[in-house]
Amino acid sequence: MIQVKNLRKEFGTKVAVEDVSFKVEKGEVLGFLGPNGAGKSTTMRMVTGYFRPTSGSVSLGGIDMLEEPEKAKQLLGYLPENAPLYSDMTVVSFLGFCAEMRGIYGAAKSKAIDRVLDMCFLDKVRNQSVDTLSKGYRHRTCFAQSIIHDPEVLILDEPTDGLDPNQKHEVRGMIKRMGQNKAIIFSTHILEEVDAACSRAMIIDRGKVVADGTPDQLKKLVPGCNSLDEVFRSITRSETAKKGE
């Protein structure tokens, strides 16, 4: 479903992403890991068509993102980091607006709204204005818009950011369930989420892929490491380590 080949992104003289390639098939949930500034968000923005790569290619469902962006994006649901909301709208009106932007009207729109309200545990705030929602409910509303059209491909940038432990548990479970029939990529700094929701994980550091495999395979990459946290720290360089060199 998702095919990324030799992606590179330059910002002036800075190379943010260098020669990144991977596939995500239907039925896979890929956890996209890396330290701050590693190139995760830049890569995801290229996969979604928000950034144009300096070189390389992205295709969704066999459709080239650069050559047929509108057609490719029809397959895509995207939850960006710090996703925007219209604060003067109610939850229902915002989701209705998002549904219409996706070409969903009438009875199909009502059905789609009810479906995502239920999936994202938003029904009790359905008629509440966005500006009165807690941070957790706002984030869940953003999540709901990304799945309003039941996309085949889902790209989630820090989907549990700002949620309390119970809400994080709910969202992880939802991602795992949806991953049974979608191709999903989500970035996270919380390594326990990989074990909880992902069938596969990829670690990126300084713009390059440094590890790719199932959570169990990654745990065996470095002798003596018994957790993803230990592996992550072993194969990526922290800013404090760089300053000490």
Note the pLDDT tens digit of each residue in 107-121.
999 999 999 999 888
Is the sign of the CA dihedral 128, 131, 136, 138 positive or negative? positive
Give the Cα separation of 66 and 44 in Å (integer).
Answer: 14
- Which is more confidently placed, 183 or 236? 183
pLDDT tens digit string along 151-209?
Answer: 999 999 888 877 788 888 888 888 989 999 999 998 887 888 888 889 999 999 999 99
Across the chain, what does the average pLDDT equal? 90
Q: Taking the CA of residue 244 as centre, how many other CA atoms within 13 Å lie in the half-sphere pointing to its CB?
A: 5
Q: Which residue has the higher pLDDT, 240 or 56?
A: 56
- What per-residue confidence (pLDDT) applies to 116? 95
Contact 115, 164 (CB under 8 A): no
pTM, two decimals, is 0.89
Say what the pLDDT of residue 61 is: 94
pLDDT for the residue numbered 167: 82
Average pLDDT over residues 81-90: 86
Please give the pLDDT value at position 238. 55
